[in-house]
Amino acid sequence: MFHTPIAPRVRKRSRPAEAGAPRREGVKFEDVRLYLVERKMGCSRRSFLTQLARSKGFIVEDILSDVVTHIVSEDTQASSLWTWLKGCELKNLPSVHVLDISWFTDSMREGRPVAVETRHLIQDILPTFPGGPTATVSQYACQRRTTTENNNKIFTEAFEVLAESYEFNEIEGPCLAFRRAGSVLKSLTFEVRSLGDTQDLPCLGEHTKELIEEILRHGRSFEVEKILSDERYQTLKLFTSVFGVGPKTAEKWYRRGLRSFSDVLTEPSIQLNRMQQTGFLHYEDISRAVSKAEARALGNIIDEAVHAITLDAVIALTGGFRRGKEFGHDVDFIVTTPEPGRERSLLPDVTDRLEQQGILLYCDYQASTFDMSKLPCHRFEAMDHFAKCFLILRLEASKVEGGLNSTEEDSRGWRAVRVDLVSPPMDRYAFALLGWTGSRQFERDLRRFARLERRMLLDNHILYDKTKKEFLAATTEKDIFAHLGLEYIEPWQRNA
Ligand code: UTP
Ligand code: MN
């Protein structure tokens, strides 16, 4: 696609120090070394611009090598440029400026290399290499590092209320927009103190900016408070907080005039399914956050149960706790084995054992529907096809270091906890781990990035290159990031 320029016939320069020596007007800027990408620019324009820059005292390298500091391209299609750059195997690529032609023309006009600004950057190239001198905030969560420390809670909590309210009304666009905006603010290492602080940030629209301004001025938002006091919002929020009750059911109950749990439980015409019955039965416990110590205790229990069944099992903590969260709504584990096909029947064996131990309070098992020959699937589905089970386990206080996470002294000495187990085949392990580690927003943007920037399809099962028409193999999460041309983001930096 790109033509690697052929070295000039006359002399082959091996040492960069010589590079500028024979130029007519002498080199003025020793520490800036340009390279002009021929693609889109064309051969003759490239040589014209090279002459121009050299006449102004710039060093222009004919060959792209590690001495180059500024790469200038007229091709602003980030994905193809990136693929080519990656193929060049530069050691210092992360520190090189990858710029569009505007930086070049500005520099020519000024007669000196101008400072690199955001507008000069080829979008989505630089954020791939954060740490560059003018790192910008990427529109993709998978190119941002987001820890559990949120410096802008006051804004992100307000955005989440709006997003939720749109979600209840099935208005998808604005819902997603508020989630994206919230996610950008979560990634900031500083607290937004004025609207000016948000100037160069992506994904912040008119509505979000108005909200930020209002909160900055009054410490709260009228719009958010209106939603919070709205009866429909309150009721839907209450109903969906029950395990097994989704927005559809909540809406149905609301329409029938039900407003409280006792309304629902005393309404004779309502038939609760098994999941909802369990949800109401253990409501107090399940709606209380799970602590890290409780997650660790559950890890021991799952470990013990799985290893009693098969010794070569692989068990990994995933979900929010893998991202370093202090509290979660459940605990997620990947459970598998290197023995091909065995993963399909592993979970029923595990839950049988938990039942024998008398700690299985609820089990919703979903058998595997995974079929590699039906992939790639072009339409994203929320659920993956691996065998999985949604459980409620009885956790004894004595198993938890420092005791249970309860408000008052709980005389029962145990609590109910939600646990999810998923069991992918071993060769799908990395994809499942990446998918289940989350956060949801991080996953959404990984898939969006893959699709839009790399022409690839990513889900919990596969990574598929649409250009090459092939599946890309991965044994670790790092392999997947590398295939996508993304800097590796640690699990604790994925709290987008
Ligand atoms: P969770 O809903 O458990 O979220 O899903 P979480 O990030 O751990 O947060 P809390 O603390 O429990 O509330 C974990 C990840 O697993 C993915 C979700 O998209 C999320 O990123 N997931 C969940 C799937 O990919 N498939 C599923 O069937 C369920
Ligand atoms: Mn979870």
**pLDDT of res. 409:** 62
Mean pLDDT calculated for residue range 406-418: 84
Among the listed residues 238, 253, 240, 243, the one whose alpha carbon sits nearest the alpha carbon of residue 273: 243
- Give yes or no for residue 9 having a pLDDT over 60: no
Nearest protein Cα to ligand 1, atom 13: 329
The CATH number of the domain holding residue 70 is 3.40.50.10190
The CATH number of the domain holding residue 442 is 3.30.210.10
Q: Give the number of whichever ligand sits closest to the CA of residue 437.
A: 1
- Give yes or no for residue 224 having a pLDDT over 60: yes
Nearest protein Cα to ligand 1, atom 28: 383
Residues 357 and 308 in one domain: yes
Residues 258 and 323 in one domain: no
- Higher local confidence (pLDDT), 10 or 56: 56
Asked if residue 337 belongs to a domain, the reply is yes
Cα gap 477→489, rounded to integer Å:
9
Kindly report, residue by residue over 89-138, the tens digit of the pLDDT. 888 777 788 899 999 999 999 898 988 877 788 865 544 343 333 358 99
Asked if residue 303 belongs to a domain, the reply is yes
Residue 347 CB partners (closer than 8 Å, separation 6+): 335, 365, 387, 388, 389, 421, 423
Asked if residue 11 belongs to a domain, the reply is no
**pLDDT of res. 94:** 72
Q: Which protein residues touch ligand 1 with a CB less than 6 Å away?
A: 319-320, 325, 328-330, 332, 383-384, 435-436, 438-440, 443, 460
Asked if residue 479 belongs to a domain, the reply is yes
Residues 355 and 297 in one domain: yes
| Secondary structure of 17-77 as H, E, C letters | HHHCCCCCCCCCCCCCEEEECCCCCCHHHHHHHHHHHHHCCCEECCCCCCCCCEEEECCCC
Per-residue confidence band for 15, with pLDDT thresholds at 50, 70 and 90: very low
**pLDDT of res. 17:** 43
**pLDDT of res. 124:** 55
Q: Is 102 exposed, middle or buried (0-12, 13-18, 19+ CB in 10 A)?
A: middle
Residues 54 and 120 in one domain: yes
- Give yes or no for residue 8 having a pLDDT over 50: no
State in Å: Cα 386 to ligand 1 middle.
14
Among 100, 106, 124, 332, which one carries the catalytic annotation? 332
**pLDDT of res. 264:** 98
Asked about 230 being catalytic, the answer comes back as no
Per the structure, the complete domain to which residue 213 belongs is given by: 153-227
Residues 119 and 165 in one domain: no
Pocket test for ligand 1, best of 240, 322, 327, 330 (most atoms within 8 A of CB): 330
Asked if residue 105 belongs to a domain, the reply is yes
Among 230, 303, 349, 420, which one carries the catalytic annotation? 420
Residues 325 and 363 in one domain: yes
**pLDDT of res. 84:** 84
Kindly report, residue by residue over 239-286, the tens digit of the pLDDT. 999 999 999 999 999 999 999 999 999 999 999 999 999 999 999 999
- Give yes or no for residue 347 having a pLDDT over 70: yes
Cα gap 235→239, rounded to integer Å:
6
This prediction has a pTM of 0.76
Q: Is 259 exposed, middle or buried (0-12, 13-18, 19+ CB in 10 A)?
A: middle
User: How far from 238 is each of 227, 243, 258, 277, CA to CA, in Å?
Assistant: 14, 11, 11, 16
Kindly report, residue by residue over 167-190, the tens digit of the pLDDT. 999 999 999 999 999 999 999 999
The CATH number of the domain holding residue 354 is 3.30.460.10
Residues 307 and 422 in one domain: yes
Ligand 1: atom nearest CA of 383 is 28
Nearest protein Cα to ligand 1, atom 15: 436
The CATH number of the domain holding residue 242 is 1.10.150.20
Q: Give the number of whichever ligand sits closest to the CA of residue 431.
A: 1
Residues 297 and 189 in one domain: no
Kindly report, residue by residue over 354-410, the tens digit of the pLDDT. 999 999 999 999 999 999 999 998 887 778 999 999 999 999 999 999 999 986 666
> Of 125, 144, 162, which marks where a domain is finished?
125
Number of independent structural domains in the chain: 5
- Give yes or no for residue 20 having a pLDDT over 80: no
Asked about 330 being catalytic, the answer comes back as yes
Asked about 479 being catalytic, the answer comes back as no
Residues 314 and 402 in one domain: yes
**pLDDT of res. 123:** 62
Length of the chain: 496
**pLDDT of res. 88:** 86
Instruction: Give the percent of the chain with pLDDT over 90.
Output: 80
- Give yes or no for residue 208 having a pLDDT over 70: yes
Asked if residue 4 belongs to a domain, the reply is no
- Give yes or no for residue 442 having a pLDDT over 60: yes
Cα gap 45→407, rounded to integer Å:
72
Residues 370 and 478 in one domain: no
Residues 318 and 419 in one domain: yes
Ligand 1: atom nearest CA of 328 is 11
User: How far from 449 is each of 137, 142, 207, 305, 480, CA to CA, in Å?
Assistant: 15, 8, 25, 38, 13
Residues 210 and 247 in one domain: no
**pLDDT of res. 362:** 98
Residue with tokens 């927003």: 441
Asked if residue 189 belongs to a domain, the reply is yes
Pocket test for ligand 1, best of 440, 446, 448, 495 (most atoms within 8 A of CB): 440
Residues with CB under 5 A from ligand 2 (ion): 319-320, 328, 330, 332
Pocket test for ligand 1, best of 436, 442, 447, 477 (most atoms within 8 A of CB): 436
- Give yes or no for residue 335 having a pLDDT over 70: yes
- Give yes or no for residue 14 having a pLDDT over 50: no
Q: Give the number of whichever ligand sits closest to the CA of residue 331.
A: 2
Asked if residue 176 belongs to a domain, the reply is yes
